[in-house]
Amino acid sequence: MRMINLKKTWPIAVGILLAGMMSCSKKEPAMTAERYRPRFHFTPPANWTNDPNGLVFYAGEYHLFYQHNPHGTTWGHMSWGHAVSTDLLHWEHLPIAIREYPDPATGDSTMVFSGTVVVDNNSSGLCTGPDCLVAIFTSHVHKGGAGLRQHQSLAFSNDRGRTWQLYDKNPILDIQRKDFRDPKVFWHAATSRWIMLAVVPDLFKVQFYASANLREWNLLSEFGSAGDTARIWECPDLFSLPVTNEASTSKWVLSLSGSHPQGPTYVGMQYFIGDFDGTTFTTTQTQPRYVDYGKDFYAGIVFNNVADKSIMLGWVNNWAYANDIPTGSWRGAMSLPRMLSLAQTPEGVRLKQEFWPIPDTLKMPIDWEEIFSGSFGLEATLEDGGTLELFKAETQTTQIHYENGQLSLDRLKSQPLHFHPLFSSRETVDIAGRPAAITLQVVVDQSIIEILTADGLYAITNQVFPETNGRIAINARTRIAKSWQWRQ
Ligand code: FRU
């Protein structure tokens, strides 16, 4: 095993904190909880987040709303936090957009669960100018912690998402069920109307609705149950993607959050490839396909109103241990944005993912002289038996390994494991065709590891919480072709 040490002459801008970490890194460095906070992945300034919500591009800004507990670092009091970005790498935190509110009829608390934001050219009649932002979210009514009803409600903003008003005729869609949630709304150009998807989680059903004005909705069709039904369905999305290696072909993709490929103890995401005629989604797919084989990619949805691109953000966590991760004053992060497309493969059409590009101006070289943990990227090629280790120190390592056509990411020896019994895990994915060597795009950001391989056909996303700084190490069957570290 070759050890690679990294030492950097850090620019002053990197700051005293990092300089301090570097200077004491030769001994066992003192690690703080803030040390786990990613640098170019979104995290809330404080407190809890789960799903990304209302992803939309509008007036030069990408908006990220997110499931947020303004009062604590565990799930509860769900409200919509808010941030904006012009490059999807740096986020400006804005005040909470939509807060938990009392139900006008009963006084019971209504939490603001997951949903969508669209740019409305005043079809709703709620815009004071030519357009405005309209949010459609699940209003989760509960008493004493027990869920009573979930329906869909509307809020609107006439000031670029800075302030929001609840629609006075909420809810806008109520099918009288305790569980009915996560509306995704988008403009369907071919039929010139709004389409909404929402799940009936316990029946493994996606319902499709249509509307001309975002306020009144008609049921069109249902999809399900199908694919993986080992765990309730949440957070549906539907988008059309090009098949990149087949001229002028595109397909519709229905994505859903539910069970993990390793079974329902963990959550994960699956997708169906098919067709959508404006009313019904159809597929010939019989086997489940998964978006990510890691333990920490959930509730992913794509941005509305981005021309020519489908960009997905997922929540980097797993309900199995989400409330216990050892991050301190904040808890939960979003993935690096991923651009989605499709590829025709010998196994059929498959989802392809590509990391949102990080410009060279935000990168600097890794100096391999120093013990190093941090925010960096690698392109590595692993032959059969190839190993790449991250955060490797005396008592810890995180191991990426390729053998017999199977790629694995092993955090069994990444520390600390004691915060939750389900955290310790090893993820695997079989690479079709068992190639002799595979090339990985690896992005590491303090406590997040994201891996894409086989031209983006497979993804593994996992959190790790190393207790000390560590090294990057490779064996003789591994080559690192490209490397960089985050400059800021
Ligand atoms: C998915 C989810 C959604 C729900 C939200 C509540 O992680 O359970 O179904 O709207 O989280 O926070």
How far is the CA of 14 from the CAs of 11, 37, 446, in angstroms?
6, 15, 15
Question: 330-331 and 47-58 as β-strands: parallel, antiparallel, unpaired?
Answer: parallel
For the CA atoms of 306, 312, 313, 314, the dihedral, rounded to the nearest 10 degrees, stands at 160
Atom of ligand 1 nearest to the CA of 51: 7
Mean pLDDT by 10-residue block, N- to C-terminus, for the chain (488 residues)? Answer: 38 27 33 79 98 98 98 97 98 98 84 98 98 98 91 98 98 98 98 98 98 98 98 98 95 98 97 98 97 98 96 98 95 98 97 98 85 86 97 94 98 86 96 98 97 98 92 96 90
What ranges make up the beta strands (E) of 158-229?
165-166, 181-188, 193-200, 205-211, 218-223
* Ligand 1 neighbours by CB, cut-off 6 Å: 50-51, 67, 78, 113-114, 138, 181-182, 234-235, 299
Query: What pLDDT is attached to residue 24?
Result: 31
CB 302 within 8 A of CB 185: no
Locus of tokens 């595979």:
438
pLDDT at residue 8, as a whole number: 31
Contact indicator for 422, 443 with CB cutoff of 8 Å: no
> 425 with 461: CB under 8 angstroms?
no
Note the pLDDT of residue 408: 98
Which pLDDT score, from 0 to 100, does residue 145 have?
Answer: 82
pLDDT score recorded for residue 29: 37
Angle subtended at Cα 202 by Cα 196 and Cα 206, rounded to the nearest 5 degrees: 25
Phi, then psi, of 151 in degrees rounded to 5: -135, 175
Structural domains present in the chain: 41-355 (2.115.10.20), 360-486 (2.60.120.560)
Q: Whole-angstrom Cα distance, residue 184 to residue 301?
A: 8
Question: What pLDDT was estimated at residue 20?
Answer: 28
Burial 460-469 (b: 16+ CB within 10 A, else e): bbbbbbbbbb
53 alpha carbon to ligand 1 midpoint, in Å? 10
What pLDDT, on the 0 to 100 scale, is given for residue 367? 77
Distance CA 266, CA 320 (A): 6
Quote the pLDDT of residue 6: 36
C-alpha Rg value of the chain to the nearest Å: 22
Give the whole-angstrom CA distance, residue 243 versus residue 222.
26
Q: Which atom of ligand 1 is nearest to the CA of 315?
A: 7
Tokens of residue 59, six digits = 């007036």
Please tell me the residue having the least CA distance from ligand 1 atom 6.
113
**Ligand 1 mutation pick, 48, 49, 99, 113, max ligand atoms within 8 A of CB:** 113
